[in-house]
Structure 1
């Protein structure tokens, strides 16, 4: 499995996974039966707390795998010990931000109720950055050839965008990936590459090949303040113009994206044009969480097989799809076909909306 992030080394040499209050991820009762609870417990150096990361995406103890119960994806789904079976429920990404993420659910390993008592069950939960989701885990025994772990290498990125603005850096993009660990890291290698290509094709279209950081028509700038919102437009009437790879605009979108990312973009929208990682994060926020005029997020469109056309619908379907502007749709499709070719992956079906 190609992981999205470099793996953080453990503080301890014995392969334990430590988290809240310095306690360990523990197999309850050192029981090897399928379905045994995984819990938080005082570190004691036993085999029940010794985990390996063999490089195939799994985390293993007592000869079995860390598993999401019934392959659930809902907040609060518990984790357990289970026979290793190669399923998505047993795939984990240990991020550079010290999260342990199940890409299928796009959720983090979490200590229930932020409770550090011995025996507290572990579960998956929407990643929120709290101490109950931060872990120090054993380093991988495997690893890919791309140091970033992203399915698009820096050389490929530069090939795709030979004339890009230096603001849209590869390092900024890879730094932003921790905000949405499931992005380009869900499903087969083909699906991962197709999603990365779909995202890059759409942002290429929105920014003229990653050239434009801000909206070029300054006359539009004052139009993006919805004064009817209770928080108003504290940065100014004309402060919420399009910025970044998906040209984030409107005060309510800056508010929503900022809240999701833990960044005050409502009061400081200029961060999106001054900080490359923040800009990329806003693009990933839209891609992974917003349906726009469509019926699904672009992320879900790609990982669930709906096809590239549905990403167009979610981004600008009300102006482009269903015959409204076929030239613009074709431009996006052409970019997608070109980028999938660079990545060495088939584009799949359902390319048009």
Structure 2
């Protein structure tokens, strides 16, 4: 059962409906007068100013290898292909999901350190490719998504998508050849953001989607309950990298994700919700 705090009340449902109606009416009126108006509801929560000056303060610093890559326009364009992202449930739920997504991609691409200027959580989206990959991330036993000769499937993009069994289906869903041309994820910023959102929105059994967890659609199985996999930001971490971070008290990587999430939740004016870490969860 979803945690009660993640379930919208009748009043919040009414508010969400009114908000969406406002978006629709505003877009219809303004689009008629200014055809280039961006009517994506995400842009009402994550403005360009907030994105560049508060959330990703140092992403375009000279010290960041991804300088100039992760533009606001690319992020907004990518979200248009996933209309339920950040647009499901009441406003608090929507903001929490966006904060959680931005926190996870910030950790995956962080250039921050403990004494970094503006703090360790001001350096998300600093990298677009994994540094010093330990292998080519080719699972040769996966015959459904066979590796292409000479290609490496190391982490790329905001969520550092990796392994052939992720590049293949992501490419199929998004319209590029992920097995033959994985490099596009580090060369095309819109596609890069799309791969991160694809991973976020897509259920990969036995794992639920990160989206379903954050919007209250997660329904734990008996195995989940036995493994203490309860809904919250910690479960999202479990989905993304549980094998290395979950079931470990005070894990540094998990703590970094939480630090980003707390900062972004504060920026959006929402609480972080329950079950922040996965220290007591078994990984999938």
Whether the TM-score (by the shorter chain) exceeds 0.5 is: yes
2:161 touches 2:195 (CA, 8 Å); kept in 1? yes
1:152 touches 1:193 (CA, 8 Å); kept in 2? no
Q: Go from structure 1 to structure 2 and tell me whether the alpha carbon gap of 1:345 and 1:92 turns closer, same or farther (over 3 Å shift).
A: closer
Aligned with residue 152 of structure 1, among 42, 46, 52: 46
Q: Go from structure 1 to structure 2 and tell me whether the alpha carbon gap of 1:278 and 1:140 turns closer, same or farther (over 3 Å shift).
A: same
Alignment correspondent of 1:302: 214
1:225 touches 1:237 (CA, 8 Å); kept in 2? no
Aligned partners of 1:267, 1:321: CA distance in 2, in Å?
A: 33
Secondary structure of the residue aligned to 2:28 is: coil
Alignment correspondent of 1:348: 273
Aligned partners of 2:214, 2:233: CA distance in 1, in Å?
A: 7
Q: Quick check: 1:272 aligned with 2:167?
A: no
Aligned partners of 1:206, 1:254: CA distance in 2, in Å?
A: 17
Q: Go from structure 1 to structure 2 and tell me whether the alpha carbon gap of 1:291 and 1:311 turns closer, same or farther (over 3 Å shift).
A: farther
Alignment correspondent of 1:232: 146
Aligned with residue 28 of structure 2, among 137, 140, 144: 140
Alignment correspondent of 1:260: 173
Give how far 1:243 is off.
0.3
Alignment correspondent of 1:203: 105
Aligned partners of 2:174, 2:151: CA distance in 1, in Å?
A: 23
Give how far 1:322 is off.
1.8
Give how far 1:142 is off.
8.3
Aligned partners of 2:26, 2:264: CA distance in 1, in Å?
A: 35
Secondary structure of the residue aligned to 1:182 is: coil
Which protein is richer in helix relative to its size? 2
Q: Go from structure 1 to structure 2 and tell me whether the alpha carbon gap of 1:142 and 1:349 turns closer, same or farther (over 3 Å shift).
A: farther
1:291 touches 1:314 (CA, 8 Å); kept in 2? no
2:40 touches 2:80 (CA, 8 Å); kept in 1? no
Give how far 1:153 is off.
1.2
Q: Go from structure 1 to structure 2 and tell me whether the alpha carbon gap of 1:338 and 1:322 turns closer, same or farther (over 3 Å shift).
A: same
Alignment correspondent of 2:3: none
Q: Deviations over 1:42-84 (max 9, x none)?
A: xxxxxxxxxxxxxxxxxxxxxxxxxxxxxxxxxxxxxxxxxxx
Which protein is richer in strand relative to its size? 1
Q: TM-score, normalised by structure 1?
A: 0.57
Aligned partners of 1:138, 1:260: CA distance in 2, in Å?
A: 31
2:146 touches 2:179 (CA, 8 Å); kept in 1? no
Q: Unpaired segments of 5 or more residues in structure 1?
A: 1-84, 101-136
Aligned with residue 245 of structure 1, among 141, 154, 158: 158
Give how far 1:225 is off.
1.6
| Count of aligned residue pairs for this structure pair | 223
Q: Deviations over 1:2-39 (max 9, x none)?
A: xxxxxxxxxxxxxxxxxxxxxxxxxxxxxxxxxxxxxx
- RMSD, aligned α-carbons: 3.2
Greater RCO between the two (CA within 8 Å, min separation 6)? 2
Secondary structure of the residue aligned to 1:179 is: coil
Alignment correspondent of 2:63: none
Give how far 1:216 is off.
0.5
Q: Go from structure 1 to structure 2 and tell me whether the alpha carbon gap of 1:138 and 1:342 turns closer, same or farther (over 3 Å shift).
A: closer
1:207 touches 1:213 (CA, 8 Å); kept in 2? yes
Give how far 1:167 is off.
0.7
Aligned partners of 1:287, 1:344: CA distance in 2, in Å?
A: 22
Q: Deviations over 1:86-111 (max 9, x none)?
A: 59899979x9xxxx9xxxxxxxxxxx
Alignment correspondent of 1:161: 56
Aligned partners of 2:18, 2:41: CA distance in 1, in Å?
A: 19
Alignment correspondent of 1:214: 129
Q: TM-score, normalised by structure 2?
A: 0.69
Q: Unpaired segments of 5 or more residues in structure 2?
A: 1-12, 32-36, 60-66, 111-123, 218-230, 279-284
